[in-house]
Structure 1
Amino acid sequence: MEAVLPVPRETELKFELDANGADRLRATPLIQSVPAGKQQLLVSTYFDTPDRDLQKQGVSLRIRRQGRRLIQTIKAEVGNGSLLDRAEWESRVTSSEPDRSQFEGTALASLADAELVPLFVSRVERSVHAIRRAGAHIEFAIDSGRIEACAPTQGASAAPVSFVEVELELKRGAPAALFDVARELNRSVPLRLGLMTKCGRGYMLLDAQPAQISKAEGVDLDPDMSVRDAFQALARECVRHLVANAPALLERREVEAVHQMRVAIRRLRAAMSLFRAVLRDGQSEHIKNELRWIGRQFGEARNLDVFIADVIEPMLESHPGEPGMAELLDYFQPQRATAYDKVLSITRGERFAAALIDTLAWIEVGDWANETDEAHRLKLLRPVRKLAAAELSRRWRKISRKGEHLKSLPADERHKLRIDIKKVRYAAEFFATLYSGRKAGKRRKRLQQLLAGLQDSLGELNDMAVNHQAEVQLTRVEGRGGAAVARRRAYAAGMLAGHQFTKAEPLLRTAVKDYGRFRKAEPFWDK
């Protein structure tokens, strides 16, 4: 039997910096305390097929000139969704064209005969430092570079992309040391956790695309996967979802980016709730608190987005002659701008960066995942399908019990019910691939539709309660024009309140009907 060779792995953390971040980082006590860094000029050409088959498969191929040496590197995403690890194959070559003889045994084995063309070139000035920490050897690199398209390929006329990034690569030792170094550096210069590779930046250049909005992606859980591996896979995706939307927020104050970042945080908190029985350690409470803090900071901006877009602007369009409506918009738009200023400042700041570093460290190497207690270890190693069925059943019963009195529930209790519904909806998404049969699939889709309808109806009712507080605030604030402006605003606020009141009863009736359908729906999991 032929031996299967282990796939070479690259374990690293990648961060993005502002233009002046590199100089500030070099001046930190940690970098000043290690030997002077080695300076390198790296020129890398990236290849793909004309149809971009490598990009579609999550694989990259480059040839890098480093001094007199030419290094061919193939990288591929690993199957567990890790944000730290990638498969990597490196070999010395003698030509600036890909050496196909080195494809065997790599992620490019199936494309050995494919046409490959150069697409873009990165030119990077790299400063490399060696850091030793707790028995680990870490390579710390600051890259200042630019990426240009290769003429005459698609995008050749696009402006080059410049960037500054930091890589912490584990050469030897435990991954926990990577996070320790990242925390120390972040206390001096905020490090924005980055997912964009140089190859990814190159494809964005070719497509002339700004930073894109990213939505939550499904995770392919196997029924025999352990509880520990399943939670790590789901939590990694939530962190990816959060981090992937930060560039669009920072570049252009993208409204949808704020929404998606809040969704990512909620999904991660929901996953932590589902797996809470195995996440009890001294670190988890800190992670929960930091995630709550981030969610609150983004909440004000999101609430104002919804209030302006879904309430004020439609009313202004339907009542164009009402001066109070325009004054409401004039009143709330500066508040939203201020809320976005705060969100951007937080996203660029040390605490946000530290929260992401701590969260990712906890997911990957937290105490919960390395518990030596035998009973806890057995919980971590049991099949995730058993946990999924127990949690889905328990939460199903909870919603069924609370929803029986939905029509008479006060607003705060309806809001709590909506949160419970949202968690079950996320759980159904998280565990979808564990129940992939045709009948289970149909039942799951039906349940998710009902949960989505319930969540939307209760969400609108909750938005009305939040908006009412804003409307009350308006009646107490005088602006330019004194009492006359205040009266017009108060009148317009009353119109808004009346309009919302007429919507409340139909929404509640819809929610009650959706709850009745939910009670009759059949579970898609093993009860």
Structure 2
Amino acid sequence: MAAFASLAQRPIMSEQELKLHVPAPARAGIEREIARGTATRVRLHALYFDTPDRELARARVAIRLRKEGRQWVQTLKTPGGHALSRIELNHERPGPVLDLSVYADTPVAAVLASLQGELAVRYETDISRLLRRVRTRHGTVEIAYDTGWLRAGDLALPVSEVEFELVSGKLDAVFDLGRRWQHKFGLVLDLRSKSHRGDALANTAQTLGAIDPEASGATKQRAKEIARYWAPQGAGASPLHADMDASQALRAVTYECLEQVVANAVPLAEVDTAGVYCAGGAEHVHQLRVGMRRMRSAWKLFQGWTPGPSEALVQQARALFASFGESRDADVLQDTVLPTLERAGMPALKLPPSESTVDAGALAASRDFQGWVLDMLAWTLGLGHDAQPAVATSATANDNAAPGTVSAQVEIIPLSAPPVPTLTELLTGRLRKWHRRLVSEGERFLSLEAEPRHELRKRGKRLRYGLAFAEPLLNAQRLRPYRKQLSEVQDILGEMNDLYVAQEHFEVLSAGHTQAWFARGWIVARLDTLGVQAQSSFHTLGEIKPFWK
């Protein structure tokens, strides 16, 4: 919908804003901070429209009527040029009347003309907004603190968020303020818009409304549907296409991974649910770590072709990943390994409390993690100040020249420029190299010690994620059987990794719990069986028709 920007004589705006959730302890401080300048307060009541089948949402279009004080304004929004950008068409209205005729000669007209269902109010917001404009060295930013409710049917969610919208200047201005306020008040990044949250809430309300409250199991079914609203989020579709260069591709896949990280951090940080409902759990931690692991795999995949994030961001990612991992290991032991051992005949064993001091929810909401997330978002948008390799000048390049010699910088233009590899050629070449190394080491798996096996597992994950990133550029028919076999390898190595972690735990417990001796013996036997299976599975992977041809 970026084509809106070329239309003349239209009430068109390009909105660029960063939105952060304000936890309850920070709300009074945020109000005081905004009130330090010239602030205004306005009441906003908005009605959002769609068809019963969500045709507008599926087309990535949002239409609302909003009463701003005494004035009604009709707004249509579509995605803009980047993740924080939206294209808006605004029209003042004499009252709460939706007028689609104002879009007759716009690019969205085709979408509206193709609607099969009737438009109706799907959800609404009731917001009190506190506004203030701030000038920074990079530009002017409007700060809007919104509190209130989002409603769909009988369901409601609280709204407590601060938006930093660019009025003029560079987008850096938004991030400068956002970082400062995030660190000062402990704010939490939420990439969902109000329309995103409202559409999901309306889906839940519609599903709950169809459940007969008198039917058997209705209570459990309702609880399941409510939990689905905050369900853990897996990886999204690869955003790559063949005409991207390496820099565009790396930033695009990094942002997609960041979306997965943030989407799972939001329930853990209790953005919607503080003090009301426990939404975040072990699977959110797992999917958050998957998103971080995929991100780090992407940086390895593109290494040497285009600059990645700064070393400081990379090291932060490694440390945060390890911290979330402490919480994850305890969950796997309690929820996966222990039940398996009890089914195998081990007498019931109550594990002592985990010695891990990591609270996944507190870590997800922490200033360190949220600061890293904000910095990564800025990097995906091409902002920030990562150092680039310096280009030597004639003075520095020839410091070692012999005294009295003339040394000049001479440029030679070749007869013809070497061909620039396409993104597809770059990715297939590197993935082929990763495949060959993985299979070569995997076919001697039984001779490897525990640490090399662990490294092999990480390389297998890296290859799997790399294939997922490159999927739009590869032959789907060849890729399907290869990925299926690689997944089998990963399942075996994943189980082995969980058992290695459990083995260390039960070795500590064996002094005071006889059941731990059963666990240690069973784990050793299971690891031996899995080791044979792993080597065989690696051999089969090497025999599959190559995906890169």
Classify the TM-score, shorter chain. 0.7 to 0.9
Which amino acid in structure 2 is aligned with residue 496 of structure 1? A
Query: Which of 125, 140, 143 is the equivalent residue of 2:143?
Result: 140
Task: Establish whether residue 11 from structure 1 lines up as the match of residue 16 from structure 2.
Answer: yes
Query: Which of 432, 437, 451 is the equivalent residue of 1:412?
Result: 451
Contact residue 252 and residue 380 of structure 2 kept, 8 A: no
For residues 239 and 545 of structure 2, the distance between their equivalents in structure 1, rounded to whole angstroms, comes to 23
Contact residue 23 and residue 187 of structure 2 kept, 8 A: no
User: TM-score under structure 1 normalisation?
Assistant: 0.85
| Residue 481 (structure 1) aligns with | none
Which amino acid in structure 2 is aligned with residue 348 of structure 1? A
Query: Which of 455, 459, 464 is the equivalent residue of 2:499?
Result: 464
Deviation at 1:17, TM superposition (A): 1.6
Task: Establish whether residue 205 from structure 1 lines up as the match of residue 201 from structure 2.
Answer: yes
| Residue 401 (structure 2) aligns with | none
For residues 370 and 84 of structure 1, the distance between their equivalents in structure 2, rounded to whole angstroms, comes to 24
Query: Which of 506, 517, 520 is the equivalent residue of 1:494?
Result: 517
User: Deviation per CA, 1:294-313, whole angstroms, max 9, x where unpaired?
Assistant: 21111112111111222212
Aligned in 2, Cα 1:141/1:83: closer, same or farther, shift over 3 Å?
same
Query: Which of 341, 358, 365 is the equivalent residue of 1:315?
Result: 341
Aligned partner of residue 350 in structure 2, secondary structure: helix
Aligned partner of residue 365 in structure 1, secondary structure: coil
Query: Which of 261, 265, 284 is the equivalent residue of 2:292?
Result: 265
Task: Establish whether residue 43 from structure 1 lines up as the match of residue 69 from structure 2.
Answer: no
Task: Establish whether residue 234 from structure 1 lines up as the match of residue 253 from structure 2.
Answer: yes
Task: Establish whether residue 509 from structure 1 lines up as the match of residue 532 from structure 2.
Answer: yes
Q: Percent identity?
A: 28
Deviation at 1:270, TM superposition (A): 0.5
Which amino acid in structure 1 is aligned with residue 454 of structure 2? H
* TM-align CA RMSD: 2.8
Aligned in 2, Cα 1:176/1:68: closer, same or farther, shift over 3 Å?
same
Which amino acid in structure 2 is aligned with residue 465 of structure 1? Y
Q: How many residues align?
A: 484
Aligned in 2, Cα 1:298/1:369: closer, same or farther, shift over 3 Å?
closer
Deviation at 1:96, TM superposition (A): 1.3
Pairing of 1:108-127 with structure 2 (within 5 A): 109-112=110-113, 114=115, 115-127=118-130
Contact residue 224 and residue 385 of structure 1 kept, 8 A: no
Pairing of 1:238-249 with structure 2 (within 5 A): 238-249=257-268
Which amino acid in structure 1 is aligned with residue 360 of structure 2? V
Contact residue 61 and residue 75 of structure 1 kept, 8 A: yes
Which amino acid in structure 2 is aligned with residue 18 of structure 1? P
| Residue 22 (structure 1) aligns with | 27
For residues 44 and 78 of structure 2, the distance between their equivalents in structure 1, rounded to whole angstroms, comes to 21
Which amino acid in structure 2 is aligned with residue 276 of structure 1? Q
Which amino acid in structure 2 is aligned with residue 5 of structure 1? S
Aligned partner of residue 24 in structure 2, secondary structure: coil
User: TM-score under structure 2 normalisation?
Assistant: 0.82
For residues 200 and 456 of structure 2, the distance between their equivalents in structure 1, rounded to whole angstroms, comes to 42
Which amino acid in structure 1 is aligned with residue 480 of structure 2? K
For residues 402 and 257 of structure 1, the distance between their equivalents in structure 2, rounded to whole angstroms, comes to 33
| Residue 128 (structure 1) aligns with | 131
For residues 178 and 383 of structure 1, the distance between their equivalents in structure 2, rounded to whole angstroms, comes to 35
Which amino acid in structure 2 is aligned with residue 520 of structure 1? E
| Residue 428 (structure 1) aligns with | 467
Aligned partner of residue 327 in structure 1, secondary structure: coil
Contact residue 41 and residue 128 of structure 2 kept, 8 A: yes
User: Deviation per CA, 1:96-117, whole angstroms, max 9, x where unpaired?
Assistant: 1221122241435421474211
Deviation at 1:431, TM superposition (A): 0.5
Contact residue 337 and residue 498 of structure 2 kept, 8 A: no
For residues 21 and 378 of structure 2, the distance between their equivalents in structure 1, rounded to whole angstroms, comes to 18
Contact residue 411 and residue 462 of structure 1 kept, 8 A: no
| Residue 290 (structure 1) aligns with | 316
- The gaps in structure 1 that reach 5 residues or longer are 150-155, 477-485
For residues 277 and 32 of structure 1, the distance between their equivalents in structure 2, rounded to whole angstroms, comes to 48
Aligned partner of residue 326 in structure 1, secondary structure: coil
Aligned partner of residue 380 in structure 2, secondary structure: helix
| Residue 152 (structure 1) aligns with | none
Contact residue 127 and residue 143 of structure 1 kept, 8 A: yes
Pairing of 1:13-412 with structure 2 (within 5 A): 13-28=18-33, 31=34, 35-78=37-80, 82-103=82-103, 104-107=105-108, 109-112=110-113, 114=115, 115-149=118-152, 156=153, 158-206=154-202, 207-208=204-205, 209=226, 210-249=229-268, 250=270, 251-280=278-307, 284-319=310-345, 322=347, 325-328=348-351, 331=352, 334-335=353-354, 342-366=359-383, 383-412=422-451
Moved more, 309-318 or 389-398: 309-318
For residues 15 and 500 of structure 2, the distance between their equivalents in structure 1, rounded to whole angstroms, comes to 50
Contact residue 246 and residue 306 of structure 2 kept, 8 A: no
For residues 4 and 282 of structure 2, the distance between their equivalents in structure 1, rounded to whole angstroms, comes to 52
For residues 4 and 359 of structure 1, the distance between their equivalents in structure 2, rounded to whole angstroms, comes to 28
Which amino acid in structure 1 is aligned with residue 292 of structure 2? I
User: Deviation per CA, 1:198-250, whole angstroms, max 9, x where unpaired?
Assistant: 22232333314342221111124211111121112111111111111123333
For residues 54 and 101 of structure 2, the distance between their equivalents in structure 1, rounded to whole angstroms, comes to 21
